[in-house]
Amino acid sequence: MSEQAQILFASKDNCCFFKLHGELRYTNATGMDDLIERLFSKPVSCQQVIIDLNEATFIDSTYVGLLASLARYCQQQQLPKPTLFSTQSEVNELLYSLCLDQAFQIVEQSTSPAAELSSVMPGHYSEQQQGEMILRAHQALIDLNYKNKAEFQPLVDLLAQQLK
C-alpha cells in the first residue's frame, strides 16, 4: 500500500524548514517544485535551509533532483549547505549513491520542528510542465556529480527531445 506524500513547510527566523512525508514520486512533486521556485525566484529570505526526510518512505530520482536544485539555489545565494535529516536507511543509501552528501550536510537523526508547519498543496501542471520539471530535476542531478551524468544523461536527452 502506498503512503500518501505530504510536503510541509515553515519559515521562521530566516530558516526555511521542509518536512517531506510518505512516498515522494514525480507524480506528487509539483508542490515541492512550485515551493522551490517561489522561494528562490526573488531575493531569498531563507538564510538556512533544513529538510526533514525522517518520514519519507520512498524517494524517486525526480525528488532527489529537486533536492539537488534546492542545494544549488543555496550555493548560488552563498548560503550554507542545507541540512538534511534522514534516519531511513534506504533513503540514505540513495542520497549517498547520488552524491547528495556533496551538496548537503546529511544528519542521520530525528528532528522536532521549531515552528508550526503548513501543508503545501500540489501544483496543477500540464503534461508539458511536468515533463519540464522532471527534466530540470534530472539536470540538477547531472550537474551535482559526474557519476550521475553517466546514469541520467540518456533520460535527460530523451526528455529534452520529447519536450521540443
Fold of 6-124: Transcription Regulator spoIIAA (3.30.750)
Which residue in 15, 42, 28 sits closest to 119, CA to CA? 28
Give the pLDDT of residue 1: 41
Cα 24 to Cα 29: distance, rounded to the nearest angstrom: 7
Distance (Å) of CA 11 to CA 21, 45, 113: 18, 9, 11
Cα 163 to Cα 17: distance, rounded to the nearest angstrom: 33
**Per-run averaged pLDDT (10 residues), the chain, 164 residues:** 81 91 94 90 82 95 95 91 95 94 95 83 92 95 91 93 90
Q: Are 66 and 59 in contact (CB under 8 A)?
A: no
Other CB atoms within 10 Å distance of the CB of residue 39: 18
Cα 154 to Cα 106: distance, rounded to the nearest angstrom: 28
Intra-chain end-to-end CA distance of the chain, in Å: 36
Give the pLDDT of residue 2: 53
Which residue in 86, 30, 100 sits closest to 58, CA to CA? 86
Hey, which residues does 18 pair with through a beta bridge?
A: 9, 51
Q: For the chain, which residues make up each domain, given as ranges? A: 6-124
- 3-state secondary structure at position 13: coil
Q: What is the pTM of this model?
A: 0.91
Helix (H) or strand (E) holding 16: strand 15-24
